[in-house]
Copies of this chain bind each other. A is one copy, B any other.
Amino acid sequence: MERADAARNRQRILRAAAELFAAKGAPNVTMEDIARAAGVGRGTLYRRFPDRAAIATALLDTHERELQERLLRGEPPLGPGAPPAERLAAFYAAMVELLEAHAHLVLGAETGRSRFETGAYGFWRVHVRSLLVAARVPDPDALVDVLLAPLAPEVYTYQRQDRGLSPERIAGALRRLARSIEPEGDRRA
């Protein structure tokens, strides 16, 4: 179990990190910054969180779990019951909401290669793959990462900031993509 001062410091670290990420963007925040803002030493910071990504992941965790819960046991079309293409479209919409709300965190936690190593990616992957299987799409293992690629935080922020697209337009494009997923030979049937 965790000592009281340790728990207090964990809270202070997370609070300070959240503010800094929001203010300056995760990639521009150093571990030193966080330690100073939280009023703890560098050693204390590293004791719990090996790097910036771990802190961002901890901050994201709640939100991601909540979405995961809704995917597993929520109402359709997000939860079970709706046709696979509709569930995929609903998943995309929910991810756009999540990216929109926490872009600065995701950009700190799931950037570049490390994106694939997070538990969250594994979860999204299993979920979407099961939808593809249900839709009887050929070779779901190859398609699943292709369909998850546009949800990379770099892509989303490029579309939002550099391209000036609204969340709605991005969600719309993803929705059309989701609905185009059909079994081989079933198109124009």
Contact = CB atoms under 8 A, between A and B. Distances in A.
Interface in A142-164: 142-143, 145-146, 149-150, 152, 154-155, 157-159, 162-163
B169 A142 contact: yes
* Majority-rule SS of A interface residues: helix
A188 interface: yes
A189 B188 contact: yes
Give how many copies assemble into the complex.
2
A143 B152 CA distance: 15
B113 A154 contact: yes
B165 A142 contact: yes
Interface string A88-123: 000000000000000000000001110110000000
A138 interface: yes
Nearest to A107: B113
A113 to B, nearest CB: 5
A174 interface: yes
Given A142-B165, A165-B142, A184 B189 contact: no
A41 interface: no
A162 B149 CA distance: 15
A181 interface: yes
A64 interface: no
A177 interface: yes
A116 B174 contact: no
A53 to B, nearest CB: 13
B139 A145 contact: no
Nearest first, the 4 A-B pairs at minimum CB distance are A142-B173, A149-B149, A180-B180, A149-B150
8 contacts: A113-B157, A139-B173, A141-B163, A146-B150, A146-B155, A146-B170, A150-B150, A187-B188
